[in-house]
Amino acid sequence: MDLHGCPQCAAVDVSWAEALTEKDGVLARRYHGSCDGCGLAREFLFALPELPTPPRPGAGVTFGADGDTSVLFDAGEWVEVADMMELAAGLPDVSEDESRRWRATATACIEEALKFMPPGGEAVPATAFWSAKGRGFRERFPGRFRRADLEARRAALAAGR
């Protein structure tokens, strides 16, 4: 939610309250609160999957089910979030355990971006970038969405490099 600052003042600080709700017959988690910067009411609704998606064997963090592409973030946003997690893992005041958790989250983000890759494809297709942030990130760094780059990055993160 911090990736989407307040539309009025761009602040990200909100004391979120959360609850289960239903929207159009779909169970969802609702986060709501007021922007600490300007007081604007903020709300996010996240549809819950029909079945829980536990981490894959050997994975500490998993987002979504195997084979299902995200509807929460596009491929560009997933790679950008991976960058933030990787940066956090390398901060000097971060413990080794915390660094490992940040890298596991970054790895899972790269795996989400790879889910958009068509079988046998060499790059994430343009249709996998539907948000302004994701498209902008892809325009700035088009080479980062090639299969070889994403797979090499996933391997490096998983190895702790």
Backbone dihedral angles phi then psi of residue 124, each to the nearest 5 degrees = -65, 130
Q: What is the mean pLDDT of residues 111-133?
A: 94
pLDDT, tens digit (0-9, with 9 covering 90-100), for 95-119: 999 999 999 999 999 999 999 999 9
In terms of CATH architecture, what is 1-48?
Single Sheet (2.20)
- What predicted TM-score, i.e. pTM, was given to this entire model? 0.79
Q: State the Cα torsion 20-24-26-30 to the nearest 10°.
A: -30
Q: What is the mean pLDDT of residues 2-25?
A: 89
pLDDT confidence band for 151 (50 / 70 / 90): very high
Packed helices 147-158 and 96-114: angle between N→C axes, nearest 10 degrees: 160
Note the pLDDT of residue 66: 72
Backbone dihedral angles phi then psi of residue 110, each to the nearest 5 degrees = -65, -40
Domain map of the chain by residue range?
1-48, 75-158
